[in-house]
C-alpha cells in the first residue's frame, strides 16, 4: 500500500493527466466499476453456496435411497 508521499504523487499525476474537471467523472467511473465487481463477487459467492446446498441435498437423497433399499432387502429375507 502506498505511503503518504506516494499518494501525493499519485494524486498530482491524476490531476495533471486528467485535469480538475475530469476527476469527478473518473471517480464516478471507478466507483461504478468497484460496485459492479462487488456485485459480481456476491453473485459468484451465492451461486457457489447454492451449488453446495444442492450437492448436500443430492447426497441426503442418495443416503435415503440406500437406506430404503437396505430396508427392502431386510424385509425380503426369509425368517
pTM given for the model: 0.53
Higher-scoring residue by pLDDT: 36, 10: 36
Contact status, residue 14 vs residue 26, Cβ threshold 8 Å:
yes
pLDDT tens digits, one per residue of 24-77: 888 899 899 999 999 999 999 999 999 888 888 888 889 999 999 888 888 886
Burial annotation 24-51 (CB, 10 A radius, 16+ → b, else e)? eeeeeeeeeeeeeeeeeeeeeeeeeeee
Q: What does the pLDDT read at residue 78?
A: 65
Contact status, residue 9 vs residue 17, Cβ threshold 8 Å:
no
Amino acid at each position: 500500500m502506498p505511503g503518504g508521499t506516494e499518494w501525493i504523487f499519485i494524486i498530482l499525476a491524476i490531476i495533471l493527466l486528467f485535469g480538475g474537471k475530469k476527476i469527478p467523472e473518473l471517480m464516478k467511473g471507478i466507483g461504478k466499476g468497484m460496485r459492479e465487481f462487488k456485485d459480481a463477487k456476491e453473485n459468484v459467492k451465492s451461486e457457489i453456496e447454492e451449488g453446495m446446498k444442492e450437492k448436500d441435498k443430492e447426497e441426503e437423497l442418495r443416503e435415503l435411497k440406500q437406506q430404503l433399499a437396505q430396508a427392502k432387502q431386510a424385509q425380503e429375507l426369509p425368517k
